[in-house]
Structure 1
Amino acid sequence: MDVIYDCLIIGGGLAGLTCGIRCASNGLHTAIISGGMNSLHFSSGSIDIAGYNTKGEIIKKPFDYLKTMIKENSAHPYAKTGIPGVRESLNFITGKFMEEGINLNHNNDMNHFHVTTLGTLKPTFLSQESVFNTDVADIANSHNKIAILNFKGFRDYYPEQTAANLKKNSMFKDKEIILGDISLPYYLNTEKNLHEFRSIDLARIFETERYLPRIAEEIKKASGGASIVSLPAFIGIRNYKTIRSKLQEMTGKFIYEIPSLPPSILGLRLDNALKNSFINLGGEYIAGERVVSGSIKNNQVEFVTTRNSGNIPVQSKFYVLTTGSFFSGGLAAGFDNISEPLFGLKVKGENKRSKWYNSNFFDRKSHPFLGFGVETDSKFNPVSGSGKTIKNLFCAGSVLSGYNPVSEGSGGGVAVSTAFKCAERIIKEIKND
């Protein structure tokens, strides 16, 4: 069998795309095999580093807190990437987003808040400019009114709930919040039931820019004297910056976006940008395919097989596993065991089912199963079921053990930094070969 790739990445989410872009940007023949929708389609479109400490308290300065996190948990992925590695990886990926027209803003070395679908405030580090910039901070600290609007018939967002939860926060309890509905002119020309529209349908309509003047007039009427107007995030996917700029110019108001139920338009923007970057660098993105098995011999991955390749092996010098956790099938749960289904890798996690979860579904500490994952060495090489380190296989993102992305608010940062670290190791090995 001839080697086809320098690097084959299994999984096309944030970790997989970050690793692929880094490898391809260094001239490696790189491919990503993706089964379909990934975690970005369900994300807020922001990238977290660390949002909460072990007591559930909000972290203001995430990089300062990483020192404590690493000291308390030497098995944490951040302990293996190192804090300089986290910074380097985030600088790299924000640069790639900028090349694709997406600016991810940060508050120097401090976290900022973004408003969730439910109206709660979540700490994060990097956000799109319609979610965080200096204008948002100034308006939030002013006495100006806020308008929270929705499109008539859209059922994936409830502004009343957003307003009620915002009012519980000290930052917004004294602010006047205006609620309102606006209609989309396209509704008048379709036989589709208004309640059937989802965020991606509306985003595609916005992409045409045909109805912006009429929508702007409705926004001005519904928002009253508010200086900031929040809308569900569907004002475009590829040319949203132009659309938002035009709406702000026509209305004279700051347009703020709040993520709605999946698919997340904010996340889709990031997904599209990273895929474009990877493909433009010469990467091969294989969508709608799934790796079903892998062969290991002499502590090396020989090849993998895919759903559509049958018995024809796909071979590479190096492999990176970024298949995610349980939700995406990167980990599997039996009646009384946790497993990694492709290579049978050693997994760290409690086998007793009653230990997998907390009785309170919304427990601030999250659930123990979210911390289960593949065990790796300091270089992110995993261990086989027989206890041997697999030198040409790396793991990145939420398939890893040693951290809980939900209770920590660290999912995006771990995905980017571990994927970047794996790519750096592969690049070094290829150059030394």
Structure 2
Amino acid sequence: MKTYDVMVIGSGFAGMAATLFAAERGLSVAQTGATGGIDFSTGFIDLLAVHPIAEQKVWEDPFAALVALRRDLPDHPYCRVSDDEICRALEQFTTFLGRHGLCYRGRTGKNTLTLTAAGTMKPTYLLPCTAWNGVKAWETKAPTLLVDFSGLKGLSARQIAEVRKDSWPNLKVARIKFPGMGGELYPEHMAWSMADPARRAELAQTVAPFVADAEYVGFPAILGMTDTTAVLSHLEELLGRPVFEIPTLPPSIAGPRLRAAFDRGLPALGVRTYTQKLITKAACSEEGFSFTAGSGSTSVEIFAKSAILASGRFFGKGLKANRHRIFEAVFDLPVSQPENRALWHRPEFFDPQGHEVNQAGIETDENLRPLDAQGRVFHPRLHAAGAILAHQDWMRMKCGAGLAIATAYKAVASL
């Protein structure tokens, strides 16, 4: 049986962040988990943009929004972390990504509006540097060319222009054939092909006749996998215009880029990752935790002195449900949830208050240690982070990645 200081259960934003923070503190870390939310990410790191949900109030200052949220929702997980902890967490997380080829930027203390594949403007706190010229183009309403590709389903330049025609009238669109590929296109294949400078030159040559008086050129997010800054800079040189990316609809390339950065960086910190293995058995003792990861002949037995539960909700397989109730999948912790299934969802799908099932999760103490059915700490060295925490609707509040990263930081610090 292999022994570690910490077992991180989950491989989404919270799991990756917890693994990083623990490893950078010198702890030996094992990580397990299925596909997480990070794989379907837009690449944006939201902190907090909407509160209250029912009023759809959008905040430019996320820290002012946090003050209001902590006043109004004392059980929200953000009440467990300070602004200083949030800032340190985001700095450490993005610094790591920067070392492994993914540059992030934003405006200190302010949310930024950025363009989505649907043509909407999304408020977010930090975004990939490859998207930043799109922010400048939007804010100045500059003449801009949006390019899409025949066979790529995740983004329509024409749809974006139609949605934004009143607020950004100087948008032009061009649909072109992607060099060297035909039929249905996949962002990951396109991104890998952009590592070849010759392919970039072909692309620029195809786009150039459409540029005309455009001051910026926007592309779907396919500009490289691990060398995005170099790809973007080369295209800017070839086209003579600032270039930016727009994330495609999920699955976009942003998720694989993030996962690839962790795949490159975490092993050097001594992390042992058990890829795509779920915890199938867990037992607690005073000394720590015994886990079985995976099943059958490929299963692995692991002992850890501490554990961080960052397994997400239903998508990350941290929560499961039957016809009557919701369960936590690893330790069978009690789950905060509506009294019966009839109350999981409101009658209207687009009810501005959201649905109660989206706030289901586990209760914790101030140090993010899960509580048992009697409200006592389940185990002194078990902590939780991310979407599995109760009393938050990260999607509607626009706080998913920020909440995951901040609570992972607090969990590791408490541990």
- State the TM-score, normalizing by the size of structure 1: 0.90
Distance 1:93 1:312 in 2: 29
Asked whether 1:14 is paired with 2:6, we answer: no
Shift of 1:309: 6.2
Distance 1:203 1:312 in 2: 35
1:78, 1:86 within 8 Å by CA — same for their partners in 2? no
2:70, 2:79 within 8 Å by CA — same for their partners in 1? yes
Shift of 1:3: 6.6
Distance 1:286 1:85 in 2: 29
Q: Secondary structure at the match of 2:180?
A: helix
For 1:429, the equivalent position in structure 2 comes to none
Shift of 1:385: 4.5
Matching residue's letter, 2:360: F
Gaps of 5+ in 2: none
Matching residue's letter, 2:382: L
For 1:24, the equivalent position in structure 2 comes to 23
Q: Deviations over 1:121-156 (max 9, x none)?
A: 110000011212xx5444333353121111122222
For 1:396, the equivalent position in structure 2 comes to 385
Asked whether 1:79 is paired with 2:79, we answer: yes
Shift of 1:332: 1.2
Q: Secondary structure at the match of 1:275?
A: helix
Distance verdict in 2 for CA 1:283–1:297, change over 3 Å: closer
Q: Secondary structure at the match of 1:150?
A: strand
Distance 2:400 2:268 in 1: 26
Moved more, 64-73 or 269-278: 269-278
Asked whether 1:151 is paired with 2:162, we answer: no
Matching residue's letter, 1:263: P
Distance 2:115 2:56 in 1: 18
- Which of 196, 213, 226 aligns to 1:208? It is 196
Moved more, 416-425 or 306-315: 306-315
2:359, 2:392 within 8 Å by CA — same for their partners in 1? yes
- Equivalent pairs counted in the alignment come to 411
Root-mean-square deviation over aligned CA pairs: 2.0
Asked whether 1:39 is paired with 2:37, we answer: yes
For 2:401, the equivalent position in structure 1 comes to 412
Distance 1:269 1:404 in 2: 26
For 2:177, the equivalent position in structure 1 comes to 183
Shift of 1:60: 0.4
Distance verdict in 2 for CA 1:359–1:147, change over 3 Å: farther
Distance 1:366 1:180 in 2: 37
Distance 1:305 1:25 in 2: 25
1:12-411 aligned at under 5 Å gives the runs 12-35=11-34, 37-54=35-52, 55-132=55-132, 135-167=133-165, 170=167, 172=168, 175-187=169-181, 194-195=183-184, 197-297=185-285, 302-308=289-295, 313-385=301-373, 387-389=375-377, 390-411=379-400
Shift of 1:222: 2.3
Identity %: 25
1:200, 1:263 within 8 Å by CA — same for their partners in 2? no
Moved more, 375-384 or 221-230: 221-230
Q: Secondary structure at the match of 2:266?
A: helix
Matching residue's letter, 2:177: S
Distance 1:306 1:139 in 2: 48
2:107, 2:125 within 8 Å by CA — same for their partners in 1? yes
- State the TM-score, normalizing by the size of structure 2: 0.93
Shift of 1:360: 3.2
Matching residue's letter, 1:185: P
2:134, 2:245 within 8 Å by CA — same for their partners in 1? no
Q: Secondary structure at the match of 2:217?
A: strand
Distance verdict in 2 for CA 1:246–1:287, change over 3 Å: same
Distance 2:150 2:123 in 1: 30
Distance 2:141 2:87 in 1: 36
Matching residue's letter, 2:283: S
Distance 2:346 2:410 in 1: 33
2:154, 2:249 within 8 Å by CA — same for their partners in 1? yes
Distance verdict in 2 for CA 1:62–1:27, change over 3 Å: same
Q: Secondary structure at the match of 2:283?
A: strand
Distance verdict in 2 for CA 1:296–1:143, change over 3 Å: closer
Matching residue's letter, 2:74: S
Distance verdict in 2 for CA 1:317–1:275, change over 3 Å: same
Distance 1:186 1:305 in 2: 46
Distance verdict in 2 for CA 1:359–1:120, change over 3 Å: farther
1:16, 1:322 within 8 Å by CA — same for their partners in 2? yes
Distance 1:302 1:97 in 2: 30
Shift of 1:184: 2.0
1:325, 1:331 within 8 Å by CA — same for their partners in 2? yes
Distance verdict in 2 for CA 1:360–1:228, change over 3 Å: farther
Q: Secondary structure at the match of 2:107?
A: coil
Shift of 1:367: 2.4
Shift of 1:366: 3.0
Distance 2:388 2:139 in 1: 40
